[in-house]
């Protein structure tokens, strides 16, 4: 079965299983992440108090750790939750928002990588290269890294970390270190709103909560956002801009189905 | 005067008095709650630092405590604020988000019930039954409880707690343990976005800040959300989905008036 | 060059330099602030952990401190970040949300004024008068202060604090204590949604991150929001309300250009 068809099946699994996705995430895009999880067909839990994160992981199908607005309190909760998810063999998805922007953030990212076994790590190329220990210039939380050599970097990182690396950019790269999927959907306007990365990670978490083929699940999550961005952008007219785009993005994810995926998805295995 | 007419008067009181509503709430839906309070005609304060919550309660007309993303710091603030509101005889509304999802959350809910006298408790049937000490399966923060016996459970809970129980679901049940109001407005798409429950509670808090008949105020708050959900859903066409729905929900609450309430409200006392 | 033309140049500087704006802000409107910074052409960083705020200030072009939902932890971060920005001679913008609403908030505002040298302070007249030590009635976070004598109060405050005072209201007043700019754009519906003030401050922070004439930058930020509010309101029809207005506000800021500023801007120096 080709990867596009696997993504379609992943979407059907989400609609059928309605996975409960536990998120320890930032306070900037948390509402968007919860609504995105609902839009695709999952059910969100947002809880970060250390005393209850293990309970939440226990009832959830997957765990998403996003270090956007990390602080000492939530880092402790992330580690506790991640360890519990590992123990219960539930998928854990990591979004290393802004890694490379400063030593504290780098230290926390490193610690999370040491203490938790991640199923999928989703970031832009600058973040993934930072995680890989490569020197890259970081301009805040937006990627400025040269994408040349991206596939090799992603494969090396995935192999080293024994996880799926999901690197979003002009071409998205999803790899377990052996197989590689490339996605050409998306639109630059996606970088014009905050939280596209976080929402993509939340979608990956939802797909991973619904099935066991995590390479397909991660690809399906990223494909969903790329498709939705592309389709939503095409609806804009006149004086519509990022406000309207953001709303249509939710509408499009909500209406996303097998037919649209098959017709518009530009994904391939290499 | 029938309950529908009382709800109409409640709405007029909100528009006239523009109550200041103090919220200690979660970081997922806090923006939606603030905008909902403004949409109906109130004025929101969101403040959760223990050192200032008593000051805020002192200038507010009502207090809403929502335990969505509770943590040790905010729980302390909730208790301090709730006690102050009780002392000043201001209405306190409780939203026990996700109670039943784990022992920590249950312990906090129990503690809040012990330390604070609540005017209205607004939850779904699963949450209200959890609070009542009944064993119910909880799937995250969404209700899966069987609604059979709901009226009796709500009445019993209200009587036991000496408060108004406001239970939202397919049929909303609002009761002080003696009188019961039932509302048939609403639409399933309301569960397709995050924060509908929180926003409903914020509306209840706004109405309770504007008048003293809390059974009518709680009913008016829930009726407003049900009506708005129903009306907003009808405007959707083509590829519109939960993104657009969410925006129209705010538009509809903003435009809600006595005429619409009287014409579309399906509320009765039993 | 007149002030309107200076605002146009400021806007061009934002589009060209894409300033990185570090915000330590509240969890109510943080998403709106990030999207507003993106909409005008900047790039947002939202980070409030004390251990990393100095790193973030170091890579940012400006720092915005908003005390909306302050707490002990974030106040410490604000002070650390503000001092670092002062040391690096980067502009620091302060939004004293709700100052005057209670003694704790007043104490924190006072402390921030003592420890940090602010480039621009943006508030409503009630907040600015509170900061000036004048007795004003505060109704929550909304202004009820009489605007008579506003220009004098703003000038006195700016001179005393050696900063730009940017006071928003029916007429916006921006002054460094000597020069005064007045803006007549805007629409009352801007007060019908939460976060307009915070978003305006975020825009001011973005303009200040792009050029060195801070009086022009502050004016351009406030003019942008006033224009956007006015233009967005005119697009509303039928049953559209604050939900749609809010979305159009982002669309309008996103599409704002020199032509619109020149044609619709009602700003003058006095």
Q: What is the pLDDT of residue C133?
A: 84
For residue C51, which residues of chain A lie inside 8 Å, CB to CB? 72, 104
Torsion over CA: A104, A107, A111, A117 (sign): positive
- Which residue in chain C is spatially nearest to B251 when comparing CA positions? C241
Q: Give residue-wise pLDDT tens across range C171-208.
A: 999 999 999 999 999 999 999 999 999 999 999 999 99
Please, which residues 116-155 of chain B have a Cβ atom closer than 8 Å to chain A?
Answer: 138-142
Distance CA C200, CA C64 (A): 11
Distance CA C35, CA C64 (A): 15
Structure tokens at B118: 């609540």
By DSSP bridging, strand B20-24 and strand B43-46 are parallel
Neighbours of B, requiring at least 3 CB pairs below 8 Å, are: A, C
Distance CA B208, CA B204 (A): 6
Alpha carbon of A193: minimum distance to chain B alpha carbons (Å) = 15
Across chain C, mean pLDDT equals 94
Q: Please state the ipTM of this predicted complex.
A: 0.94
Say yes or no for a CB contact (<8 Å) between B244 and A247: yes
For residue C27, which residues of chain B lie inside 8 Å, CB to CB? 27, 30, 46
Q: Give residue-wise pLDDT tens across range A92-111.
A: 999 999 999 999 999 999 99
Neighbours of C, requiring at least 3 CB pairs below 8 Å, are: A, B
Does A236 lie at the interface with C, CB-CB under 8 angstroms?
Answer: no
Say yes or no for a CB contact (<8 Å) between C246 and B247: yes
Distance CA A219, CA A221 (A): 5
CA separation, residue C227 to residues C13, C198, C232, C254, C267 (Å): 18, 16, 8, 12, 11
> Can you tell me whether residue C175 is helix, strand or coil?
strand
Distance CA B242, CA C259 (A): 35
Say yes or no for a CB contact (<8 Å) between B242 and A250: yes
Please, which residues 62-91 of chain A have a Cβ atom closer than 8 Å to chain B?
Answer: 73
> Can you tell me whether residue B187 is helix, strand or coil?
coil
The string of DSSP letters for A192-248 reads: GSTTHHHHHHHHHHHHHTT-S-HHHHHHHHHHHHHHHHHHHHHT--TT--HHHHHHH
**Unique residue bearing structure tokens 């990030």:** C34
Q: What is the mean pLDDT of residues C20-29?
A: 98
> Can you tell me whether residue C87 is helix, strand or coil?
helix
Q: What is the pLDDT of residue A262?
A: 98
Q: Give residue-wise pLDDT tens across range B51-90.
A: 999 999 999 999 999 999 999 999 999 999 999 999 999 9
For residue A58, which residues of chain B lie inside 8 Å, CB to CB? 102
CB burial of C254-266 (b: ≥16 within 10 Å; e: otherwise) equals bbbeeebbeeebe
Is 3.40.50.11740 the CATH classification of the domain at B3-269? no
Distance CA C211, CA C200 (A): 17
Alpha carbon of B220: minimum distance to chain C alpha carbons (Å) = 20
Q: Is the pLDDT of residue A141 over 60?
A: no
Q: Give residue-wise pLDDT tens across range A145-181.
A: 454 589 999 999 999 999 999 999 999 999 999 999 9
Q: Quickly state the pLDDT bin for A259 (edges 50, 70, 90).
A: very high
Q: Is the pLDDT of residue B127 over 90?
A: yes
Alpha carbon of C93: minimum distance to chain A alpha carbons (Å) = 19
Say yes or no for a CB contact (<8 Å) between B43 and C139: yes
Does B240 lie at the interface with C, CB-CB under 8 angstroms?
Answer: no
Torsion over CA: C201, C207, C212, C214 (sign): negative
Say yes or no for a CB contact (<8 Å) between C49 and A244: no
Structure tokens at C36: 């507003």
Q: What is the pLDDT of residue B149?
A: 84
By DSSP bridging, strand C164-168 and strand B164-168 are unpaired
Does B29 lie at the interface with A, CB-CB under 8 angstroms?
Answer: yes
Domain-wise residue ranges, chain A: 3-269
pTM score: 0.95
Q: Is the pLDDT of residue B114 over 90?
A: yes
Across chain A, mean pLDDT equals 94
Distance CA C187, CA C233 (A): 7
Does B238 lie at the interface with A, CB-CB under 8 angstroms?
Answer: no
Q: Quickly state the pLDDT bin for C134 (edges 50, 70, 90).
A: low
How many Å is the Cα radius of gyration of chain B? 17
**Unique residue bearing structure tokens 């309070």:** B37
Contacts 24+ apart (CB under 8 A), B55-58: B55/C101, B55/C102, B55/C103, B55/C104, B55/C105, B56/B22, B56/B81, B56/C101, B56/C102, B57/B22, B57/B81, B57/B84, B57/B85, B57/B88, B57/B90, B58/B84, B58/B88, B58/C102
Residue C164 and residue C174 in contact, taking contact as beta carbons nearer than 8 Å = yes
Q: What is the pLDDT of residue C139?
A: 45
Non-local CB neighbours of B8 within 8 Å, separated by 6+ positions:
B258, B261, B262
Does B115 lie at the interface with C, CB-CB under 8 angstroms?
Answer: no
Structure tokens at A1: 């079965």
**Which residue from B115, B127, B69, B65 is spatially nearest to B92, judged by alpha carbons?**
B65
Beta bridge partners of A181: A174, A269
Non-local CB neighbours of A160 within 8 Å, separated by 6+ positions:
A132, A177
Q: Give residue-wise pLDDT tens across range A232-250.
A: 999 999 999 999 999 999 9
* Nearest neighbour of C242 by CB, restricted to B35, B43, B56: B35
Structure tokens at B98: 């996700």
Does A254 lie at the interface with B, CB-CB under 8 angstroms?
Answer: yes
CB burial of A13-28 (b: ≥16 within 10 Å; e: otherwise) equals bbeeebbbbbbbbbbb
């Amino acid at each position: 079965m080709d990867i596009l068809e696997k993504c379609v099946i992943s979407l059907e699994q989400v609609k059928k299983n309605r996975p409960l996705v536990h998120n320890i995430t930032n306070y900037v895009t948390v509402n968007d992440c919860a609504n995105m999880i609902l839009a695709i067909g999952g059910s969100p839990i947002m809880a970060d108090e250390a005393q209850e994160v293990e309970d939440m992981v226990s009832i959830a199908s997957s765990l998403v750790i996003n270090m956007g607005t990390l602080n000492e309190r939530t880092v402790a909760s992330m580690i506790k939750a991640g360890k519990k998810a590992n123990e219960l063999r539930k998928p854990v998805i990591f979004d290393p928002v802004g890694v490379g922007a400063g030593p504290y953030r780098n230290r926390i990212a490193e610690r999370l990588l040491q203490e938790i076994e991640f199923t999928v790590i989703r970031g832009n190329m600058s973040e993934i290269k930072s995680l890989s220990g490569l020197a890259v210039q970081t301009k805040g939380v937006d990627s400025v890294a040269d994408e040349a050599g991206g596939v090799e970097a992603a494969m090396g990182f995935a192999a080293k970390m024994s996880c799926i690396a999901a690197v979003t950019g002009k071409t998205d790269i999803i790899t377990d270190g052996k197989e590689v999927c490339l996605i050409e959907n998306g639109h630059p306007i996606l970088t014009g709103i905050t939280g596209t990365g976080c929402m993509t990670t939340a979608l990956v978490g939802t797909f991973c909560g619904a099935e066991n083929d995590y390479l397909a699940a991660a690809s399906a999550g990223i494909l969903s956002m790329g498709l939705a961005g592309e389709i939503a952008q095409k609806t804009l007219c006149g004086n519509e801009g990022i406000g309207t785009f953001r709303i249509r993005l939710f509408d499009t994810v909500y209406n996303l189905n097998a037919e649209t995926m098959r017709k518009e998805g530009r994904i391939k295995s290499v």
